[in-house]
Amino acid sequence: MGKALIIGCGGVAGVAIHKCCQNSEVFEEICIASRTKSKCDALKAKLDGGKTKITTAQVDADHVDELVELIRRVKPDVVLNLALPYQDLTIMEACLATRTNYVDTANYEPLDTAKFEYKWQWAYRKRFEEAGITALLGSGFDPGVTGVFSAYAVKHHFDEINYIDILDCNAGDHGYPFATNFNPEINIREVSAKGSYWEEGKWIETEPMEIKRVYDFPEIGTKDMYLLHHEELESLGINIPGIKRIRFFMTFGQSYLTHLKCLENVGMTSIKPIDFDGRKIVPLQFLKAVLPDPASLGPRTKGKTNIGCIFQGRKDGREKTYYLYNVCDHQECYREVGSQAISYTTGVPAMIGTMLVMNGKWRKPGVYNIEEFDPDPFMDALNRWGLPWQESFQPDMVE
Ligand code: NDP
């Protein structure tokens, strides 16, 4: 049916590309382009031989002109951005210049400030609309599936939703005292930042890890979880009618937290460049270089993830609660695509969002967050492509 250009060839891209090849009716052709072309070639060598035609290319996605040249040469129907959040704006610029549809999984972050907000990408709305192309923002799991779950709950279960708690539990054990499950730089910037939640139209800020709750996760059991700021809170606060409060909680084990505190205390998580042996280095980037590569965790990680949303609101004049979640097994993911569940739960929705833009079901000119589209085709595709969802009408609530 069409051709996708996938930019980036890390953990998440590896899964999305496997899934595109499984879905060759839609993805007749893909081009994998990244900074290090040898990674793209190695993945092509692994996946070649199926129905999806694969090509590879080298690109530095920090440069709009390189991207424009690549997009003009490849002529994709959709560009799927699976590089880092720092490249979102350059890739969106190149899509505008070439009138090509755009999909990503994480919102833009300036390299020198650990702050993510949608304002930079929402500023492109008018230009995308005028160019007649679609930008789908945040097609991973969180953000991504959490927004689709919210749109599905609004459409099928509630007249109004007043409270949403997003719960992200990773009960996987990789055996290392400290490692991150996706890009360490992005992950540590996220968890060492101040927390916040959205209530009655305002942000309430907390100290990092200040709010702790305990939750009994289906198929996993009881875990400590901590309130974090997370990017989908910003768009859901606007797009879900009747909403009064949205919070995001993520589970962390004690070993992870102790190591993180120590690394913070000695300055290793700082993003301010320092002088070292006559050159400037960023401590967090150096830390990334010494930590295990998230892609290497796949064969070692055992256990499950459970990510979902608890909704509280009203239907037909009555109070109602509803919990939608997915449970994913690290080792099953590894057996299927050679990666752990964190990359899997992001790469599968990235493929699905790209498919829906490619086949026209989710095409409307402008820049949109995922909950602004009809959730039904996405929910069906989750069941078909490896992330089946489950629901509960009497969940334990988070206090
Ligand atoms: P990785 O670090 O594993 O992969 C990033 C890839 O991008 C690498 O191949 C890297 O190339 C490439 N890249 C980086 N900079 C450039 C550049 N300037 N030009 C071209 N390519 C570049 O990250 P992940 O796969 O873990 O994460 C990918 C994205 O997914 C991130 O934006 C992350 O925030 C997002 N994410 C979203 C989640 C969600 O649920 N929504 C969850 C997890 C991740 P090289 O190999 O040369 O380093």
Residue 387, ligand 1, Cβ within 6 A: no
Letter string b/e over residues 190-212, b meaning 16 or more CB atoms within 10 A of that residue's CB: bbbeebbbbeeeeeeeeebbeee
Do 294 and 300 contact (CB within 8 A), yes or no? Answer: no
Q: Answer whether 10 contacts ligand 1 (Cβ < 6 A).
A: yes
pLDDT in tens, 224-283: 999 999 999 999 999 998 999 999 999 998 889 899 999 999 999 999 999 999 999 999
For 46-69, the pLDDT digits (tens) are: 999 999 999 999 999 999 999 999
Percent of all residues in the chain with a pLDDT value above 90, rounded to a whole number: 90
Candidate from 5, 12, 139, 369 with most ligand 1 atoms within 8 A of CB, to mutate: 12
Are 340 and 334 within 8 A, CB to CB? yes
Give 336-387 pLDDT, tens digit per residue. Answer: 999 999 999 999 999 999 999 999 999 999 999 999 999 999 999 999 999 9
Q: What is the chain's mean pLDDT, rounded?
A: 95
From the DSSP assignment, how many helices (H) and strands (E) are in the chain?
14, 18
pLDDT band of 222, cuts 50, 70, 90: very high
12 C-alpha to center of ligand 1: Å? 7
Res 18: pLDDT: 98
Query: Is the Cα dihedral 68, 71, 77, 81 positive or negative?
Result: negative
Q: Is the CB of 143 under 6 A from ligand 1?
A: yes
Q: Mean pLDDT across the stretch 70-98?
A: 98
pLDDT of residue 116: 81
pLDDT at residue 384, rounded to an integer: 98
Per-residue pLDDT reduced to its tens digit, 112-131: 877 789 999 999 999 999 99
Q: Is 82 in the pocket of ligand 1 (CB under 6 A)?
A: yes
What pLDDT does residue 31 have? Answer: 98
Write the residue with the smallest CA distance to atom 23 of ligand 1: 183
By CB atoms closer than 10 A (0-12, 13-18, 19+), residue 395 is buried
Is the Cβ atom of 182 under 6 angstroms away from ligand 1?
yes
CA distances from 27 to 19, 135, 352, 354, 361 (A): 9, 19, 11, 9, 15
**CA dist., res. 325 & res. 375, Å (int):** 15
Is the C-beta atom of 12 inside 6 A of ligand 1?
yes
Q: Cα(386)–Cα(341) distance, rounded to whole angstroms?
A: 11
The model's confidence at residue 295, banded by pLDDT at 50, 70 and 90, is confident
**Model's pTM, two decimal places?**
0.95
